[in-house]
Structure 1
Amino acid sequence: MAKIILLSIICLITVIHVPVVLADIYEWTDEKGNIHVVDDILNVPAKYRDKVKIYKEKPVEIERRRPVEERPEQTISPPSEELFGNYPLEWWKAEFEKIKRDISELEKTISEQKRYVDVFERGRRLGQTYTKDEIEAYDQYKKQITESEARLKELKSEFDELRRKAASYGVPRSIRGD
Protein backbone atom coordinates (compact mmCIF):
# COMPACT_ATOMS: atom_id res chain seq x y z
CA MET A 1 0.00 0.00 0.00
CA ALA A 2 2.83 2.38 0.85
CA LYS A 3 4.43 1.63 -2.51
CA ILE A 4 1.24 2.61 -4.33
CA ILE A 5 0.96 5.87 -2.41
CA LEU A 6 4.64 6.66 -3.02
CA LEU A 7 4.29 5.84 -6.72
CA SER A 8 1.15 8.01 -6.95
CA ILE A 9 2.95 10.94 -5.32
CA ILE A 10 5.90 10.62 -7.71
CA CYS A 11 3.56 10.52 -10.72
CA LEU A 12 1.64 13.50 -9.40
CA ILE A 13 4.82 15.52 -8.90
CA THR A 14 6.05 14.77 -12.43
CA VAL A 15 2.70 15.74 -13.92
CA ILE A 16 2.39 18.94 -11.89
CA HIS A 17 6.00 19.98 -12.40
CA VAL A 18 6.28 22.29 -15.41
CA PRO A 19 9.25 21.36 -17.57
CA VAL A 20 11.62 24.03 -18.84
CA VAL A 21 12.80 23.87 -22.44
CA LEU A 22 16.09 25.31 -23.63
CA ALA A 23 17.01 25.30 -27.29
CA ASP A 24 20.02 26.90 -28.90
CA ILE A 25 19.95 27.80 -32.58
CA TYR A 26 23.09 27.41 -34.70
CA GLU A 27 23.60 29.36 -37.93
CA TRP A 28 26.40 29.06 -40.45
CA THR A 29 27.12 30.11 -44.03
CA ASP A 30 28.69 27.73 -46.55
CA GLU A 31 31.12 28.69 -49.36
CA LYS A 32 28.22 29.26 -51.80
CA GLY A 33 26.74 31.86 -49.46
CA ASN A 34 23.79 29.73 -48.37
CA ILE A 35 22.72 30.27 -44.78
CA HIS A 36 21.90 27.15 -42.78
CA VAL A 37 20.08 27.06 -39.44
CA VAL A 38 19.89 24.00 -37.18
CA ASP A 39 19.06 23.27 -33.57
CA ASP A 40 21.83 20.73 -32.94
CA ILE A 41 25.57 21.52 -33.14
CA LEU A 42 26.17 17.98 -34.43
CA ASN A 43 24.28 18.88 -37.62
CA VAL A 44 26.84 21.57 -38.44
CA PRO A 45 29.67 20.25 -40.68
CA ALA A 46 33.05 20.20 -38.89
CA LYS A 47 34.67 22.72 -41.24
CA TYR A 48 31.99 25.37 -40.41
CA ARG A 49 31.83 24.84 -36.63
CA ASP A 50 34.33 27.63 -35.96
CA LYS A 51 32.14 30.08 -37.95
CA VAL A 52 28.84 29.19 -36.27
CA LYS A 53 26.66 31.91 -34.76
CA ILE A 54 24.91 30.66 -31.65
CA TYR A 55 21.59 32.13 -30.62
CA LYS A 56 20.88 31.30 -26.99
CA GLU A 57 17.24 30.69 -26.30
CA LYS A 58 15.73 32.01 -23.11
CA PRO A 59 14.14 29.42 -20.88
CA VAL A 60 10.55 28.99 -21.85
CA GLU A 61 8.06 27.37 -19.57
CA ILE A 62 5.69 25.04 -21.29
CA GLU A 63 2.20 25.90 -20.29
CA ARG A 64 0.33 23.11 -18.65
CA ARG A 65 -2.99 22.20 -20.06
CA ARG A 66 -5.70 23.43 -17.84
CA PRO A 67 -8.70 21.24 -17.37
CA VAL A 68 -11.48 22.17 -19.69
CA GLU A 69 -14.06 24.11 -17.80
CA GLU A 70 -17.58 23.06 -18.39
CA ARG A 71 -19.35 25.77 -20.24
CA PRO A 72 -23.03 26.28 -19.82
CA GLU A 73 -24.89 24.91 -22.78
CA GLN A 74 -25.57 27.70 -25.21
CA THR A 75 -28.94 27.74 -26.80
CA ILE A 76 -28.93 28.57 -30.45
CA SER A 77 -30.82 31.77 -30.89
CA PRO A 78 -33.28 31.87 -33.76
CA PRO A 79 -32.23 33.94 -36.74
CA SER A 80 -33.02 37.61 -36.40
CA GLU A 81 -35.00 37.59 -39.64
CA GLU A 82 -37.92 35.37 -40.37
CA LEU A 83 -37.19 32.97 -43.21
CA PHE A 84 -39.62 32.11 -45.97
CA GLY A 85 -38.44 28.93 -47.68
CA ASN A 86 -34.81 29.33 -46.49
CA TYR A 87 -34.68 32.96 -47.63
CA PRO A 88 -35.31 36.17 -45.68
CA LEU A 89 -38.04 38.56 -46.72
CA GLU A 90 -35.47 40.98 -48.20
CA TRP A 91 -34.28 38.28 -50.63
CA TRP A 92 -37.81 37.71 -51.88
CA LYS A 93 -38.33 41.45 -52.23
CA ALA A 94 -35.10 41.81 -54.24
CA GLU A 95 -35.98 38.85 -56.49
CA PHE A 96 -39.43 40.23 -57.28
CA GLU A 97 -38.02 43.69 -57.97
CA LYS A 98 -35.31 42.27 -60.24
CA ILE A 99 -37.64 40.12 -62.32
CA LYS A 100 -40.24 42.91 -62.58
CA ARG A 101 -37.50 45.32 -63.71
CA ASP A 102 -36.21 42.81 -66.30
CA ILE A 103 -39.73 42.26 -67.66
CA SER A 104 -40.38 46.01 -67.82
CA GLU A 105 -37.10 46.74 -69.63
CA LEU A 106 -37.66 43.93 -72.12
CA GLU A 107 -41.23 45.07 -72.83
CA LYS A 108 -39.95 48.61 -73.42
CA THR A 109 -37.23 47.34 -75.79
CA ILE A 110 -39.72 45.21 -77.74
CA SER A 111 -42.10 48.16 -78.00
CA GLU A 112 -39.37 50.46 -79.36
CA GLN A 113 -38.19 47.84 -81.86
CA LYS A 114 -41.74 47.20 -83.10
CA ARG A 115 -42.32 50.94 -83.49
CA TYR A 116 -39.13 51.23 -85.60
CA VAL A 117 -40.16 48.27 -87.76
CA ASP A 118 -43.67 49.74 -88.27
CA VAL A 119 -42.29 53.16 -89.25
CA PHE A 120 -39.77 51.51 -91.60
CA GLU A 121 -42.42 49.37 -93.31
CA ARG A 122 -44.88 52.30 -93.61
CA GLY A 123 -42.14 54.43 -95.16
CA ARG A 124 -41.25 51.67 -97.58
CA ARG A 125 -44.89 51.47 -98.74
CA LEU A 126 -44.87 55.23 -99.32
CA GLY A 127 -41.65 55.10 -101.36
CA GLN A 128 -39.22 56.19 -98.62
CA THR A 129 -35.57 55.34 -99.32
CA TYR A 130 -33.34 54.17 -96.50
CA THR A 131 -29.61 54.04 -95.88
CA LYS A 132 -27.70 50.82 -95.54
CA ASP A 133 -27.45 51.31 -91.74
CA GLU A 134 -31.21 51.82 -91.43
CA ILE A 135 -31.87 48.66 -93.44
CA GLU A 136 -29.43 46.68 -91.26
CA ALA A 137 -31.11 48.03 -88.11
CA TYR A 138 -34.51 47.01 -89.54
CA ASP A 139 -33.29 43.46 -90.25
CA GLN A 140 -31.64 43.22 -86.84
CA TYR A 141 -34.75 44.46 -85.00
CA LYS A 142 -36.97 42.12 -86.98
CA LYS A 143 -34.83 39.17 -85.80
CA GLN A 144 -34.44 40.47 -82.23
CA ILE A 145 -38.18 40.99 -81.74
CA THR A 146 -38.89 37.26 -82.00
CA GLU A 147 -35.97 36.41 -79.68
CA SER A 148 -36.99 39.10 -77.19
CA GLU A 149 -40.61 37.93 -77.18
CA ALA A 150 -39.44 34.38 -76.43
CA ARG A 151 -37.26 35.69 -73.59
CA LEU A 152 -40.19 37.77 -72.29
CA LYS A 153 -42.36 34.67 -72.24
CA GLU A 154 -39.65 32.86 -70.21
CA LEU A 155 -39.36 35.75 -67.76
CA LYS A 156 -43.11 35.86 -67.24
CA SER A 157 -43.21 32.12 -66.54
CA GLU A 158 -40.28 32.56 -64.08
CA PHE A 159 -42.23 35.39 -62.43
CA ASP A 160 -45.34 33.20 -62.14
CA GLU A 161 -43.25 30.37 -60.68
CA LEU A 162 -41.63 32.75 -58.18
CA ARG A 163 -45.07 34.02 -57.15
CA ARG A 164 -46.29 30.45 -56.72
CA LYS A 165 -43.30 29.52 -54.54
CA ALA A 166 -43.59 32.73 -52.54
CA ALA A 167 -47.26 32.04 -51.88
CA SER A 168 -46.50 28.49 -50.74
CA TYR A 169 -43.78 29.76 -48.35
CA GLY A 170 -46.04 32.44 -46.91
CA VAL A 171 -44.38 35.53 -48.35
CA PRO A 172 -46.72 38.51 -47.78
CA ARG A 173 -48.93 39.57 -50.70
CA SER A 174 -47.45 43.06 -50.69
CA ILE A 175 -44.08 41.56 -51.68
CA ARG A 176 -45.54 39.09 -54.21
CA GLY A 177 -47.51 41.78 -55.97
CA ASP A 178 -50.84 39.92 -55.72
Structure 2
Amino acid sequence: MGNADCGIIRAKALSYVTQSFRTEFRNPQSQSAIEQTEISMKKTMLIILVGMITLPLIAGSQEIYQWVDEKGTVHFTDDFGQIPEKYRDQVKEKKAPPEPASALSPSPSIKPSQGKPPPGPSAEKKDILGRGEDWWRDQAMEWKQKLVKAQKDYATAKTALKAKEKELEDAKFKPKSFQRKIQDEIKVLEQKVNEQKRQVDEAKEMLEKVLPRQAEEHRADPSWVRID
Protein backbone atom coordinates (compact mmCIF):
# COMPACT_ATOMS: atom_id res chain seq x y z
CA MET A 1 0.00 0.00 0.00
CA GLY A 2 1.42 3.37 -0.96
CA ASN A 3 1.85 6.36 1.32
CA ALA A 4 -1.03 8.18 -0.41
CA ASP A 5 -3.45 5.29 0.27
CA CYS A 6 -2.34 5.14 3.89
CA GLY A 7 -2.97 8.85 4.30
CA ILE A 8 -6.49 8.60 2.86
CA ILE A 9 -7.46 5.68 5.09
CA ARG A 10 -5.95 7.35 8.15
CA ALA A 11 -7.81 10.60 7.43
CA LYS A 12 -11.15 8.79 7.07
CA ALA A 13 -10.59 6.85 10.28
CA LEU A 14 -9.66 9.96 12.25
CA SER A 15 -12.63 11.85 10.82
CA TYR A 16 -14.99 9.06 11.80
CA VAL A 17 -13.66 8.87 15.33
CA THR A 18 -13.80 12.64 15.78
CA GLN A 19 -17.39 12.83 14.59
CA SER A 20 -18.38 9.91 16.79
CA PHE A 21 -16.81 11.50 19.85
CA ARG A 22 -18.48 14.81 19.19
CA THR A 23 -21.88 13.15 18.71
CA GLU A 24 -21.72 10.84 21.74
CA PHE A 25 -19.90 13.02 24.25
CA ARG A 26 -20.93 16.61 23.51
CA ASN A 27 -23.20 16.97 26.59
CA PRO A 28 -22.11 14.50 29.29
CA GLN A 29 -23.82 16.52 32.13
CA SER A 30 -27.35 15.81 30.79
CA GLN A 31 -26.80 12.08 30.58
CA SER A 32 -27.78 9.52 33.21
CA ALA A 33 -25.36 7.19 34.91
CA ILE A 34 -26.44 4.32 32.68
CA GLU A 35 -26.04 6.41 29.58
CA GLN A 36 -22.66 7.57 30.78
CA THR A 37 -21.63 3.94 31.35
CA GLU A 38 -22.75 3.02 27.85
CA ILE A 39 -20.94 6.05 26.50
CA SER A 40 -17.78 5.04 28.38
CA MET A 41 -18.00 1.56 26.87
CA LYS A 42 -18.54 3.01 23.41
CA LYS A 43 -15.62 5.35 23.98
CA THR A 44 -13.40 2.43 24.88
CA MET A 45 -14.58 0.44 21.85
CA LEU A 46 -13.98 3.42 19.58
CA ILE A 47 -10.47 3.86 20.96
CA ILE A 48 -9.82 0.16 20.32
CA LEU A 49 -11.30 0.49 16.85
CA VAL A 50 -9.09 3.49 16.11
CA GLY A 51 -6.10 1.55 17.31
CA MET A 52 -6.98 -1.43 15.12
CA ILE A 53 -7.43 0.81 12.09
CA THR A 54 -4.55 3.18 12.57
CA LEU A 55 -1.83 1.01 14.07
CA PRO A 56 -1.17 -0.89 10.81
CA LEU A 57 -1.12 2.44 9.05
CA ILE A 58 1.18 3.93 11.66
CA ALA A 59 3.65 1.15 10.92
CA GLY A 60 3.82 2.35 7.33
CA SER A 61 4.61 5.97 8.23
CA GLN A 62 7.58 7.55 9.90
CA GLU A 63 6.09 9.49 12.89
CA ILE A 64 2.54 9.69 14.36
CA TYR A 65 1.56 12.17 17.08
CA GLN A 66 -1.27 11.41 19.57
CA TRP A 67 -2.93 13.76 22.04
CA VAL A 68 -6.23 13.98 23.99
CA ASP A 69 -8.19 17.24 24.07
CA GLU A 70 -10.10 18.68 27.03
CA LYS A 71 -13.21 16.67 26.06
CA GLY A 72 -11.28 13.43 26.22
CA THR A 73 -11.14 12.99 22.44
CA VAL A 74 -8.09 11.15 21.18
CA HIS A 75 -6.44 12.71 18.13
CA PHE A 76 -3.80 11.37 15.75
CA THR A 77 -1.78 13.23 13.14
CA ASP A 78 1.48 12.91 11.30
CA ASP A 79 1.89 16.73 11.08
CA PHE A 80 3.11 18.29 14.33
CA GLY A 81 2.01 21.71 13.11
CA GLN A 82 -1.67 20.64 13.23
CA ILE A 83 -1.52 20.06 17.00
CA PRO A 84 -2.89 23.00 19.03
CA GLU A 85 -0.14 24.62 21.07
CA LYS A 86 -1.87 23.98 24.42
CA TYR A 87 -1.78 20.21 23.79
CA ARG A 88 1.75 19.96 22.45
CA ASP A 89 3.28 19.32 25.88
CA GLN A 90 1.25 16.11 26.25
CA VAL A 91 1.83 14.79 22.73
CA LYS A 92 2.86 11.16 22.49
CA GLU A 93 5.09 10.45 19.57
CA LYS A 94 4.92 7.02 17.97
CA LYS A 95 7.66 5.94 15.65
CA ALA A 96 6.95 3.15 13.23
CA PRO A 97 9.57 0.47 12.92
CA PRO A 98 11.69 0.98 9.84
CA GLU A 99 10.59 -0.84 6.75
CA PRO A 100 12.60 -3.94 6.10
CA ALA A 101 15.38 -3.03 3.80
CA SER A 102 15.25 -4.58 0.41
CA ALA A 103 17.50 -7.51 0.09
CA LEU A 104 20.85 -6.22 -0.82
CA SER A 105 22.38 -7.76 -3.81
CA PRO A 106 25.20 -9.93 -2.64
CA SER A 107 28.40 -8.06 -2.91
CA PRO A 108 30.82 -9.69 -5.26
CA SER A 109 33.07 -11.96 -3.38
CA ILE A 110 36.44 -10.40 -2.88
CA LYS A 111 39.03 -12.79 -3.96
CA PRO A 112 42.17 -12.76 -1.90
CA SER A 113 44.79 -10.80 -3.65
CA GLN A 114 47.03 -13.12 -5.45
CA GLY A 115 50.59 -12.07 -5.50
CA LYS A 116 52.51 -12.28 -8.69
CA PRO A 117 53.90 -15.75 -9.26
CA PRO A 118 57.57 -16.01 -8.51
CA PRO A 119 59.51 -15.11 -11.60
CA GLY A 120 60.62 -18.19 -13.41
CA PRO A 121 63.67 -18.43 -15.57
CA SER A 122 63.44 -15.80 -18.26
CA ALA A 123 62.73 -17.17 -21.70
CA GLU A 124 65.83 -17.32 -23.85
CA LYS A 125 65.81 -14.76 -26.60
CA LYS A 126 65.71 -16.19 -30.11
CA ASP A 127 65.92 -14.88 -33.64
CA ILE A 128 63.05 -15.34 -36.09
CA LEU A 129 64.33 -18.81 -36.96
CA GLY A 130 64.51 -19.87 -33.33
CA ARG A 131 68.29 -19.60 -33.02
CA GLY A 132 69.60 -18.24 -29.76
CA GLU A 133 72.67 -16.45 -28.53
CA ASP A 134 74.85 -19.57 -28.48
CA TRP A 135 74.32 -20.24 -32.17
CA TRP A 136 75.25 -16.70 -33.21
CA ARG A 137 78.25 -16.59 -30.90
CA ASP A 138 79.47 -19.89 -32.34
CA GLN A 139 79.27 -18.39 -35.83
CA ALA A 140 81.19 -15.31 -34.79
CA MET A 141 83.77 -17.36 -32.92
CA GLU A 142 84.27 -19.65 -35.89
CA TRP A 143 85.03 -16.71 -38.16
CA LYS A 144 87.23 -15.17 -35.53
CA GLN A 145 89.31 -18.33 -35.45
CA LYS A 146 89.46 -18.36 -39.26
CA LEU A 147 90.65 -14.77 -39.20
CA VAL A 148 93.37 -15.50 -36.66
CA LYS A 149 94.57 -18.54 -38.65
CA ALA A 150 94.42 -16.67 -41.98
CA GLN A 151 96.39 -13.76 -40.52
CA LYS A 152 99.01 -16.17 -39.17
CA ASP A 153 99.25 -18.09 -42.45
CA TYR A 154 99.40 -14.83 -44.38
CA ALA A 155 102.27 -13.57 -42.25
CA THR A 156 104.12 -16.89 -42.67
CA ALA A 157 103.59 -16.96 -46.42
CA LYS A 158 104.69 -13.37 -46.79
CA THR A 159 107.86 -14.02 -44.78
CA ALA A 160 108.63 -17.05 -46.95
CA LEU A 161 108.05 -15.00 -50.09
CA LYS A 162 110.46 -12.29 -49.01
CA ALA A 163 113.07 -14.93 -48.21
CA LYS A 164 112.75 -16.45 -51.70
CA GLU A 165 112.96 -13.07 -53.31
CA LYS A 166 116.16 -12.45 -51.36
CA GLU A 167 117.49 -15.85 -52.43
CA LEU A 168 116.75 -15.07 -56.08
CA GLU A 169 118.60 -11.80 -55.79
CA ASP A 170 121.62 -13.59 -54.36
CA ALA A 171 121.52 -16.24 -57.13
CA LYS A 172 122.01 -13.83 -60.03
CA PHE A 173 125.46 -15.23 -60.64
CA LYS A 174 124.29 -18.82 -60.41
CA PRO A 175 123.07 -21.00 -63.26
CA LYS A 176 119.88 -19.96 -64.99
CA SER A 177 118.27 -23.28 -64.17
CA PHE A 178 118.73 -22.58 -60.45
CA GLN A 179 117.31 -19.10 -60.84
CA ARG A 180 114.27 -20.45 -62.74
CA LYS A 181 113.67 -22.96 -59.95
CA ILE A 182 113.67 -20.15 -57.37
CA GLN A 183 111.35 -18.07 -59.55
CA ASP A 184 108.86 -20.96 -59.71
CA GLU A 185 108.95 -21.23 -55.92
CA ILE A 186 108.35 -17.49 -55.66
CA LYS A 187 105.21 -17.78 -57.86
CA VAL A 188 103.82 -20.49 -55.59
CA LEU A 189 104.50 -18.37 -52.50
CA GLU A 190 102.87 -15.34 -54.14
CA GLN A 191 99.73 -17.39 -54.79
CA LYS A 192 99.80 -18.58 -51.21
CA VAL A 193 100.20 -15.03 -49.89
CA ASN A 194 97.30 -13.86 -52.05
CA GLU A 195 95.13 -16.73 -50.88
CA GLN A 196 95.86 -16.03 -47.23
CA LYS A 197 95.23 -12.34 -47.83
CA ARG A 198 91.85 -13.25 -49.38
CA GLN A 199 90.99 -15.39 -46.34
CA VAL A 200 91.95 -12.60 -44.00
CA ASP A 201 89.73 -10.16 -45.90
CA GLU A 202 86.86 -12.65 -46.01
CA ALA A 203 87.00 -13.30 -42.25
CA LYS A 204 87.09 -9.57 -41.54
CA GLU A 205 84.16 -9.00 -43.87
CA MET A 206 82.14 -11.69 -42.11
CA LEU A 207 82.89 -10.36 -38.64
CA GLU A 208 82.52 -6.67 -39.39
CA LYS A 209 79.69 -6.59 -41.94
CA VAL A 210 78.04 -9.87 -42.92
CA LEU A 211 77.26 -11.36 -39.50
CA PRO A 212 75.98 -8.04 -38.03
CA ARG A 213 73.75 -7.59 -41.09
CA GLN A 214 72.44 -11.16 -40.85
CA ALA A 215 71.77 -10.74 -37.14
CA GLU A 216 69.76 -7.59 -37.83
CA GLU A 217 67.78 -9.25 -40.61
CA HIS A 218 66.93 -12.22 -38.39
CA ARG A 219 66.20 -10.00 -35.36
CA ALA A 220 69.01 -11.38 -33.28
CA ASP A 221 70.79 -9.33 -30.64
CA PRO A 222 73.68 -7.51 -32.38
CA SER A 223 75.88 -8.04 -29.34
CA TRP A 224 75.85 -11.78 -30.00
CA VAL A 225 78.17 -11.40 -32.98
CA ARG A 226 80.60 -8.93 -31.45
CA ILE A 227 83.94 -10.59 -30.77
CA ASP A 228 86.65 -8.52 -29.15
Give the structure with the larger strand fraction. Answer: 1
Point out the structure with max Rg over C-alpha.
2
Give the structure with the larger helix fraction. Answer: 2
TM-score past 0.5 threshold: no
Band the TM-score falls in, shorter-chain normalisation: 0.3 to 0.5
